[in-house]
Each structure stands twice: as C-alpha cells, then as structure tokens.
Structure 1
Amino acid sequence: MIEELTMKHRTFIVTLALALTQGSAWGQMSHNHASEAACETTELRCASKVTPTFGADGTLWLAWMAGGQVLVASSGDGGHSLSPAVQVTQDKPNLDWGPDARPKIVVDRKGGIAVAFSTFRDKAFNGEVFYSRSTDGGKTFATPRPITDNAESQRFEAVGFDPEGNVFAAWLDKRNRVPVQQAGKKYDGAALFFASSRDGGATYSQATMAADNTCECCRLGLAFDPSGHPVIAFRNIFEGGVRDHAVVTFADQKTPGEVHRVSQDDWQVAACPHQGPSLSIATDGTYHVVWYTNGKARKGLFYAQSRDGGKTFSQPMPIGRPDRNPSRPYVMAGPQETEIVWKEFDGEKTSVNLITTTDAGRTWSQPRVIASTADSSDHPLLVSNGRQTYLSWMTKADGYHLQPIEGEP
C-alpha cells in the first residue's frame, strides 16, 4: 500500500533508476540524464509517455511506450521499486506517437487489468485501436486485438471500469466519412464511438456511435458520475467549423445522452489542435472540466464546472499565465480537494503548476510550481489511490516522478 504522508510540506519524488533494464527488479532511485534520442530500448527510462493507475489494493500500475512497444509494470511500495516489466504488444507495431496519444491502463476491484492503445495503419495517420487484458495480476497479457473490425481509422481511445466492474471504451472513429464522401459531400472530423465489455475486457460489444462530426485529433476525457454512468468530454465540431468542447452523459453503457456545449469559445479552425480536455466528476456529482482553446471569445487554458449533470456549465475561469504558454491541463476531484495541474514555459524551463479547491470549485488557491525540468517532458497527469492524489510526470532529464499533491503551504 502507498504510505500516507502526514507532514504537511513533505515532498516525495520518485525517480526510477537509470541503469535498470526490462525484466529486472527496480529497487533504487537515481537521476536519468541519458539522451532520449539514443534510448531505443523498452526500459521505463526510455519512455516518452507513461500512464499511471492505482489498483483497489493500493498497487501502482504503469503503462508506457518505449522501444516501439507497450509495457506494463507495478509497484507495491509507492514507486520505490517496480516489478519486472511485461510486454503487452507483439512484433513491433507502428504505435501512435501523436501528441495526445498514449497507452491506457485501468484495474478493476478484483485485480483484472485492461489495456488499450492505438497504432498507425498508414502514413496518412489512419489508426487502429487495440485492447488487451491480464487475468493473472499483470504477469501475462492476452494477444492484443482490434476493438472493432471496421477498416477505417480509430484513434484517441479512453477506457475505464464502471462501479459494476464493466469496461467502457470510447474512441474517435472515421468510418462515417466513406459513405458521405461517396455521396459527393464533405465529411468533417470524425465520430465518437463506444463499446463495452462485461467480461473484464475479454470481448467488447459492437461499436456504436455517440456523436458524429467531432474533432478528429484530440484526447477524450472519460469519467463516471455517482450513478456509474459514463461521461465523455471531447472537442466537438459545431456549426461553422467551430471546434469547442462538449460533454455527453450516458443513461447506461448503451445509451448516450444529448451533446451539451461546455463553452462558447468560437474557435473556428480547419486543423488539428492536438489538445483535448480533462474531465473529473466529484462524489457530489459536480463535473470539473479543463481545456485549451484559441478561439475568438477566449484564448488559453480554462476551467468550468457543471452542477446539473453536464447540461450547463459555469463561466470559464482562465488558468495560467498567458505569457508562459500554458498547456496540457489535467483535473482530478480527490477525496478532500480538487486539483488542476498544467505546464508552463518561461523561456528556460518547463514547470508543472497547481491550483486546488476545497469548496467544489467555487474558489481556488493561488498557482504554485510543484515540479520543473529544463528538458522535454510528457503531459502532467494526476492519479489517486482514493486517499491521496499524486502528480505523475515523465521527464527526459530526470525520469519518472510520482509526487504527492500537498495542501496549500
């Protein structure tokens, strides 16, 4: 189990060792100053993208891309040591390396593990989403299989276990463009598709569309409301080619609700922003959403909340310093507070900044820097074990960090 931190200002940063190799036990901490360009093996130190999750027993699980493979390992002591890495992929697939792409990993209450990732089918960036699972505690993974048999493009998958232990998956899908183009009409973007699994990720239901004409190149935000219904935040294409964010709340795993707009940013662009939203839902049902826009109405990072199940949202609140290129926001509603992190660049170093709220988003703390690097880095992510929220961040210079989020000083 992850030890609970009681000293208010204590900082705990886990940096996994430089010289460790796949299949070895990782039991020490040091800094990694190796060049990412020369690092082509599958160790965690070579990863550019790392995705964390916690199991119900407090085990930390990591999925990452390195050496052209997707790998998974776990830690039972908060990252001080890591189990031997297990390779999920076979051969050497052309993994989706896009800015908003990364492998996904979730663990159910019984320890079952579901993994999803996407690959490029061709040089035109058409993709294919694959899934795999482990039923033996991450020792082995099933051969990855396509999540749908459709031959068009699928990318930007999101997966999660609902409270009943069923897997819900969503992704962006371009299957609808073919009949539209064959009819001589223009097809914009992609469509939001979904499927579910009642056997722990062994098989998935037939893919079904939740919304058409969505932006085709941004990550999805997936969460479950207090009733266990899936909720997806995504960049939609509204009338006039405006790519603003929206949410859809499901009545159950098979029934998507109406699409509701998060904000009127008026970003009219016929291009790929490659910056999707983040969504978290508190136990009181409040939706917390953060996003990036370059619209006519507003530019930069913003936060909004909904207290009516995603039907309406509050006035957007700006995040970060506009002169420091704020980007990659992530939000998590934790047990005591809700946290937002994002990246800023001051011309010399990239910092991860944090704000928190203890009153469901009505007021927020002043921003403060909680991590920084002078080199390239992954998006900052937040992960919770149910008691404590952590920053998960991979940097080229210093390796992987797992850092507890402390309250205001």
Structure 2
Amino acid sequence: MVRIGLLGIVALALLPGAALAQMHGQHGSEAACEEPALRCATKVTPAFGPDGTLWLVWMAGGQVSVASSQDAGRSFSAPVQVTTKRLNLDWGPDARPKIVVDRKGGIALAFSIFRDEAFNGQVLYTRSADGGKSFAELKPITANNESQRFEALALDQDGTVFAAWLDKRNRVPAKEAGQKYEGAGLFFASSRDGGATYTEAALARDNTCECCRLGLTFAAPGRPAVIFRNIFDGGVRDQAVMTFTDVSNPGEIHRVSNDDWQINACPHHGPSLTIAPNGTYHVVWYTNGKARKGLFYAHSRDEGRTFSAPMALGQPGRNPTRPYVLAGATGTVMAWKEFDGEKTSVQMTISRDDGETWSPPKTISSTTDTSDHPLLISSGRQTYLSWMTKADGYRLTAIEDQP
C-alpha cells in the first residue's frame, strides 16, 4: 500500500504543469464549494437519452447528482442526488462519474471512491428505473476488496450495459508467490437488466497501466472495444486496443503506436476511442515517450489490428492535453485543451473524409479559470462539446454550428 501511495505521488510530479495546476484547482474548488449543486461541480459527464433529453451526472460536495435538460443544456431539472451521504469520491484527473441511458429511459451510473489514503478505490454502481426520479441503493461492481478504479460504461444496441475498469486484485497472489506485479488488471462485467445487476468480474488483460481513463465503445452489436495504456516489455507504457469477440470473451490486444514511453509511475492521462459506422477506429492519446511527445491521432481500418502513422495535435508550446474524439453524423471531431499562459481554450478539428484530412484547428471555447476536461457527445443528429468551467458553469456547444 505504501508503494501505491508513492506511485501516486510520483505521478503528480510527472504531470504537465497545467495538468498539475488543474488537478490541484479541481480538488481545491471542491473543498471551497461544499454544495452538491451543479455550479460546484468539478467533473460533469453528459449522455443523451433516446428521446433527445440531455442527462448530466456530476461530482460536487462529495456527492453525485443528476439532472436533465429538454433544451440542449440551456436549463435543467431539479437535481436528484444519487448518493445519500458525503463520500470520498475519486478526485484523480482521469476520474469522473459515468452514465448511459437506454431506450426505455433506464439510467445506469457508475463511479469510484477512495477507500484509503493510498489511492485504493472501489467502483460503485446504481440504476434508475423511473426516468431519473430515484436511484437504487449503491452497490460495488465486484465483491473483491482490492482496488478498483477508472471504470467505463458503454451501452449496446440491445440494452446490454458493458463495464470495464482497472483492478489490482492480482497483486495479492503475486506477492504471496514472491513475484513482482506491475500495474493492474483490465477487468470487465456486463448487465442484461439495464445496470441493475452485473455478471461476475472477469480478467481481460493483466499488467496494464494502473491509472489512466479507459476509452470504451462498441465496434459492432455484442462486441465491446476498449483502448487502454498497456505495459509492454521493458516497462514501456503505450496505448493498446482490444476488441471483444462478445461481451464475455476478450480479444487480442493490438498496439496503437510505438511511442517508447518507459515509465514506472502513473500518467493519469488516458486515451479516447470512437468507431465510425463504417468500422473505422479513431483514437487519440497523450504520450511522453522517447519516440514522440504530446497528443496524437491515428485510425485503423482493420478493426484495430494496424493503425495509421500518428498525427500530432495541438501547439507544443501551449501544453495540449485531454484529447477526445467522436465520430458523428456529419464527420469525426477531435477536441483538446491548450493553455497560452493566460487562458485555457478548447481546440477542435473536423474530418469529413473518415480521418484522411482534417480542418485547421480552431478555438471553440475558452476560460481564464479552472475547468473540467472537454468531452464530445452526439444526439444522433448533432455533435456537441460538453465542458464545465468554474467561471462560466456548464456549456453545451453545437460543433456543426461553428463556422
């Protein structure tokens, strides 16, 4: 446990300056704003329901709450608290509550808490069967008492909820056997009842990097796909993609690029994955490797087996961070943050030809105060930037409306 704590401390020292400042700012702003209200939120995650309703789940004041909007984020319903008491919510840079909304209006949520001061976590889940009016009692996604963090949820066409997370249960038997154990295991489970119950947790891949967000989506009905930072030979922590053969059986892993980032600590800077209707995998990630440094994009037209040459994103002098990619109805959009010394801006670019060419990057939003990561979300007909800032609150900006 001491070693985990030290790794976490080392990770903070390795964060880029703006990212480290943002992490401290988020944690500090949470302490200064004790209410569970949206205005106090540090992490806000959106999801569109099948009827076009925008749902938000957020962390504030040590609690998790939800609200909905019928007018694309201009106004919201009265918040409903998911939690009944203040929790030690996972405040790490890549942590946030997750939400999916099914065709029947059922809402599945998941988030993680810290169980101790060594950053050992527990993933909790719940479900609303009455359109977000109330939520079931919180339950752990697995009965295992080791650390689980960095959960991700994805919704299949048939309503199946697929969950993946990083899990440290295998470190105990390794230690008992006198063996070295690196990283964490990529575990998963699925729910056929809208997130009310989940199957027993299963291992997809052991010895992955233990502290970066996962990118999760469906490549086809019944076939989840996840991007994660894997630990390759020599302690190299580069991105990898795995496509499941079905919700119960993991597939082979394929390396996204050879960045040669050899590090024995936690980057806290995970990737993003989207899969276009034609099957193209689009990925974005951060690296500080020997081969390349910064944000990069690549695509795959063979289900993630091989990827195009990495394309750099952003202006290196402005500390580009937190990339996100989403294939929507009118094109594939990428967004990320940059800091020019005075303000943080969200940059975006669009490809209308499946990732072959991209529009010149442009600023879509900015702030002079702390902010959440930029997220992209689609209503099916429109792609939006979802962004929470301390100064201006929650913003939902239509991408295609930008000149």
* TM norm structure 2: 0.92
CA apart distance, 1:38: 2.9
Structure 2 residue 325 is the aligned partner of structure 1 residue 325: no
Pick from 246, 253, 272: which aligns with 1:252? 246
Corresponding residue of 1:188: 182
**Distance verdict in 2 for CA 1:118–1:160, change over 3 Å:** same
Q: Is the 8 A contact 1:90 1:143 kept in 2?
A: no
Quick one: which amino acid aligns to residue 273 of structure 1?
P
Matched, 1:362 2:349: no
Distance verdict in 2 for CA 1:407–1:228, change over 3 Å = farther
Q: Which of 357, 364, 375 is 1:381 aligned to? A: 375
Quick check: 1:62 aligned with 2:63?
A: no
Report whether the alignment pairs 1:178 with 2:172.
yes
Matched with 2:87 is 93
Task: Name stretches of at least 5 consecutive residues in structure 2 with no aligned partner.
Answer: 1-28
Distance apart, 1:226 and its partner CA: 3.1
Distance of 2:88 and 2:339 partners within structure 1: 31
Does structure 1 conserve the Cα–Cα contact (< 8 Å) formed by 2:217 and 2:226? Answer: yes
Superposition RMSD in Å: 1.0
Distance 1:38 1:408, change over 3 A: closer
Contact between 1:226 and 1:284, CA under 8 Å: does it hold in 2? no
Higher relative CO (Cα under 8 Å, sequence separation at least 6) belongs to: 1
Q: 1:339 aligns with which of 319, 322, 333?
A: 333
Alpha-carbon distance in 2 for matches of 1:135, 1:172: 27
Q: Contact between 1:158 and 1:222, CA under 8 Å: does it hold in 2? A: yes
Structure-1 separation of matches of 2:86 and 2:216: 28
Question: Which amino acid is 1:167 matched to?
Answer: V
**Contact conserved, 1:36 with 1:396, CA < 8 A, in 2?**
no
Equivalent in 144, 147, 151 of residue 141 of structure 2:
147
Paired-residue identity, %: 71
Provide the residue aligned with 2:3 in structure 1: none
Shift of 1:37: 5.1
Distance 1:310 1:256 in 2: 14
Instruction: After TM superposition, give the deviation of residue 268 of structure 1 in Å.
Output: 0.1
Please point out which of 201, 218, 227 is paired with 1:224.
218
SS at match of 1:243: strand
The equivalent of 2:201 in structure 1 is: 207
- SS for the counterpart of 1:225 is strand
For the 8 Å contact 2:222–2:247, the answer to whether it is kept is no
State the secondary structure of the residue aligned to 1:383.
strand
SS in 2 for 1:181: helix
Structure 1 gaps of 5+ residues are 1-34
Secondary structure of 1:333's partner? Answer: strand
Structure 2 CA distance for aligned equivalents of residues 394 and 290 of structure 1: 21
Q: Look up the SS of the partner of 1:149 in the other structure.
A: coil
With 398-407 and 240-249 compared, the bigger mean Cα shift is at: 398-407
1:84 equivalent in alignment to 2:78: yes
1:376-403: CA deviation from partner (whole Å, max 9, x where unpaired)? 1000000110000000000111111011
Deviation at 1:406, TM superposition (A): 2.3
After TM superposition, the runs of 4+ consecutive aligned structure 1 residues lying more than 2 A away are: 35-38, 406-409
Residue 309 (structure 2) pairs with residue 294 (structure 1): no
Q: Is the 8 A contact 2:237 2:262 kept in 1?
A: yes
Cα 1:205/1:186, change in 2 over 3 Å: same
Partners of 2:156 and 2:221 within 8 A in 1:
no
Aligned match for 2:278, one of 262, 281, 284: 284
Matched residue type, 1:289: V
How far apart, in 1, do the equivalents of 2:90 and 2:73 lie? 27
Number of matched pairs: 375
Provide, for residues 325-348 of structure 1, a one-character-per-residue CA deviation record: whole Å limited to 9, x for no partner: 000000000011000000000011
1:52 corresponds to 2:21: no
CA contact (8 A) 1:41 1:67 kept: yes
Q: How far does the alpha carbon of each residue in 1:200-240 deviate from its partner, in whole angstroms, 9 at most, with x for none? A: 11110000000000000000000111344100000000000
Q: C-alpha separation between the residues in 1 aligned to 2:270 and 2:377?
A: 18
Q: Normalising by structure 1, what TM-score? A: 0.90
| Structure 2 Cα separation of the partners of residues 311 and 130 of structure 1 | 33
Structure 2 residue 396 is matched with structure 1 residue 396: no
Alpha-carbon separation, structure 2, partners of 1:320 and 1:80: 30
**Shift of the alpha carbon at 1:90?**
2.3
